[in-house]
Amino acid sequence: MRKPTLSMIIIMSVIILDQLTKALIVHLIPYSPTSYPTPILEWGGDFLRIIHVRNLGALFSLGSSWPALFNILLLKIIPLLLLLYLMFLLVAPQKIYTRTPKKLRWELSAMQMIALSFAVGGGFGNMIDRILRPKGVVDFIDIKFYGLFGLERWPTFNVADMAVVLAVTLFIIHEIQSEIKRKREAKHE
């Protein structure tokens, strides 16, 4: 199910909210790569903190120490091309979309379309930082993790990251629902 207008609204909302919150953090909290960030807000003791850190890599800083060529190729060029392709699938006008070869098109349910829209919005939010902010992606939400998985604090994240996590969650829910539906239909046959 393609709903280009809804997809565009979700994508743009995520990008705008992400970039506005990052701009606010950059304005309110000085960034210092050499000292531990000072929170401007703490909630629940130190459970939730708003800080200013930068990430030159991807998820959990993966790739931050790669050579520049790998970093540019694997964290900027390839993801940007993928994001542009996914955005085309979601928001291209029907006339143009139907001219795309069938093997390059996807049939998505409403939930998959919404999930993919959140993922694309989050991807573009962080891609803007990767391209325009030489010090890295702005992360600012810092949560205590109480030693789970050996982590005292969860890796710091931002609104774009939350949109991607929401997308993955929606995809998982969709797959669980689809599997339950398939099993019910198989019982009735």
pLDDT in tens, 89-124: 899 888 888 888 888 888 889 999 999 999 999 999
User: Range of 149's domain?
Assistant: 4-188
Residue 63 has pLDDT above 70, yes or no: no
pLDDT in tens, 4-14: 999 999 999 99
3-state secondary structure the chain: CCCHHHHHHHHHHHHHHHHHHHHHHHHHCCCCCCCCCCCCEEECCCCEEEEEEEECCCHHHCCCCCCHHHHHHHHHHHHHHHHHHHHHHHHCCHHHHCCCCHHHCCCCCHHHHHHHHHHHHHHHHHHHHHHHCCCCEEEEEEEECCCHHHCCECCCECHHHHHHHHHHHHHHHHHHHHHHHHHHHHHHC
Which token pair is 147? 């030693």
Q: What is the pTM of this model?
A: 0.88
Which token pair is 151? 């982590």
Residue tagged active-site, from 18, 129, 139, 142 = 139
Residue tagged active-site, from 18, 129, 142, 161 = 161
For residue 46, which phi and psi values (nearest 5 degrees)? Answer: -120, 25
Determine whether 161 is an active site residue: yes
Rounded to an integer, the average pLDDT of 67-78 is 80
- Give the lowest-confidence range in 7-16, 30-39, 130-139: 30-39
3-state secondary structure 82-115: HHHHHHHHHHCCHHHHCCCCHHHCCCCCHHHHHH
Domains of the chain: total: 1
- Confidence class of residue 39 from pLDDT cuts 50, 70 and 90? confident
Determine whether 139 is an active site residue: yes
